[in-house]
Homo-oligomer: A and B are copies of this chain.
Amino acid sequence: MSRLLRSWLESANAPDCEFPLNNLPYGVFSTAGSDPRCGVAIGDQVVDLPALQAAGLIDFPGAFDAPSWNAFMALGREAWDALRARLIALLAADSNDQAAVAATMVAASDVTLHMPMQVGEYTDFYAGRNHAVNVGTMFRGAENALPPNWLHIPIGYNGRASSVVVSGTDVRRPWGQLKGPNDDLPRFAPCARFDIELEMGAIVGTPSNGPISVDEADANIFGYVLLNDWSARDIQAWEYQPLGPFQAKATATTISPWIVTRAALDPFRVDTPERDFELLDHIKDTGPMLYDIDLSVTLAPMGEAASTIARTNYKEMYYSAAQQLAHHTTSGCPMRVGDLLGSGTISGPEKDNRGSLLELSWGGKEPFTLDSGEERSFIQDGDTLALHGTARGDGYSIGFGPCIGTVLPALPNPYSR
């Protein structure tokens, strides 16, 4: 297990800091009266990348002209490695550039965080086994829980990139067409079973234009974010057969503000689980490609303290992001810089490991209890949901910032005008 890299910035060396020198996650920030721009989190500060470049301390022409990491990602892996190495040198305890770098820093408490990249396209997988078994059992019975293809390919669907928002964005409860089990006909109504999905998102940093291997796919991933795939379960139940989820998943998908790079997560790699069936060559395991990242979900009713409602770990996945990306390219599908791949909901084996309210309340039949004693089956208006992720090293840990959203009440019927 890797050790803490010490920085001259003392706040970065604190054991509970999620942004030590080992992390250096990439985001986009602004301060009051200034435009959004690329930044790096370190301790309780954010390094202003355009300022660092203007000061001559880094040299990546064109990379930081726009408030997104897409241009930098497009420079390729050598640039990724070079920037990380240079930032570590500038911020390490023995750096000779402390004063010059300090001059480009802004207190994290003063910044507003924005979308860290422009999302190309967004794909959402369904590659967590416990989640698939739970949902399958509820919808199709225990005997048919896993679809026949599930153990052979990471099944997924294309989501809606335009609906991806950064942590802190409020989420409006949607309306939609739905049909209850006792309804003769469908009706248009506000979603009554609004939910989260605890996921990790992988960001494609290197484009491809044909089938790529799992190793190539792994190398093409720039970094990871926390991802909450907000889900309207009642809309989903009515619409999803036979073409998959559509409007149920198009209200919003929230990502954490900081992209934690693949390099920062490297020390936390773990193997994928034992296989029931040997995977075919295009997605065969080639090494440890999952990550040991503790994940949790908190729910805070309006004006109340947050309760932790689930704890799980990214290593519960059956398929890694690299396998998902490789599978995504098999048909020749072009992948582009900024494409986002959701892991699928990450649930552990126990009841309190479940990454969605659908599972936590077993389809609403077994409401769960918050610390305050209040019960929940699905999200209520005013609830704030947050995902948290931590990879724990030796004397340090790495985080993503929270992935948080508050659910606002549905607007009046938009079609009653």
Residues of B within 8 A of A126 (CB): 243
A232 within 8 A of B: yes
A247 within 8 A of B: yes
A174 within 8 A of B: yes
Nearest to A212 among chain B residues (CB) is B414
Oligomer: number of copies: 2
- Whether B251 lies near A332 (C-beta < 8 A) is yes
- Whether A246 lies near B175 (C-beta < 8 A) is no
A39 within 8 A of B: no
A177 within 8 A of B: yes
In the assembled complex, the CB of A129 is this many whole angstroms from the nearest CB of chain B, namely 15
A3 within 8 A of B: no
Binds B, one of A276-284, A289-297, A390-398: A276-284
Q: Which of B175, B211, B331 contacts A248 (CB 8 A)?
A: B331
A182 within 8 A of B: no
The answer to whether A172 and B251 touch (CB under 8 A), given A243-B245, A244-B157, is no
Nearest to A413 among chain B residues (CB) is B281
Complex formed: what's the CA distance from A93 to B252 in Å? 52
The answer to whether A252 and B282 touch (CB under 8 A), given A120-B162, A149-B238, A238-B149, is no
- Whether A188 lies near B416 (C-beta < 8 A) is no
Complex formed: what's the CA distance from A339 to B162 in Å? 10
In the assembled complex, the CB of A182 is this many whole angstroms from the nearest CB of chain B, namely 15
In the assembled complex, the CB of A84 is this many whole angstroms from the nearest CB of chain B, namely 28
Can you list 6 A-B pairs, Cβ within 8 angstroms, ordered by A?
Answer: A149-B239, A149-B241, A158-B159, A162-B336, A177-B280, A248-B331
- Whether A243 lies near B155 (C-beta < 8 A) is yes
Complex formed: what's the CA distance from A302 to B328 in Å? 30
- Whether A247 lies near B121 (C-beta < 8 A) is no
- Whether B280 lies near A246 (C-beta < 8 A) is no
A186 within 8 A of B: yes
Instruction: Give the interface centre of A158, A213, A281, A328 by most chain B CB atoms within 10 Å.
Output: A158
Q: Which of B179, B244, B328 contacts A244 (CB 8 A)?
A: B244
- Whether B242 lies near A241 (C-beta < 8 A) is yes
- Whether B239 lies near A242 (C-beta < 8 A) is no
- Whether B185 lies near A277 (C-beta < 8 A) is yes
- Whether A282 lies near B149 (C-beta < 8 A) is no
Nearest to A333 among chain B residues (CB) is B250
Residues of B within 8 A of A415 (CB): 211, 213, 281-282
- Whether B243 lies near A174 (C-beta < 8 A) is no
The answer to whether A332 and B177 touch (CB under 8 A), given A149-B239, A210-B414, A241-B149, is no
- Whether A158 lies near B157 (C-beta < 8 A) is yes
Q: Which of B161, B174, B282 contacts A332 (CB 8 A)?
A: B174
- Whether A177 lies near B158 (C-beta < 8 A) is no
A327 within 8 A of B: yes
A403 within 8 A of B: no
In the assembled complex, the CB of A215 is this many whole angstroms from the nearest CB of chain B, namely 11
Q: Please give me the 5 A-B residue pairs with the lowest Cβ-Cβ distance, nearest first.
A: A244-B244, A250-B333, A158-B158, A211-B414, A174-B331
In the assembled complex, the CB of A254 is this many whole angstroms from the nearest CB of chain B, namely 13
- Whether A161 lies near B247 (C-beta < 8 A) is no
A176 within 8 A of B: yes
Complex formed: what's the CA distance from A416 to B335 in Å? 21
A24 within 8 A of B: no
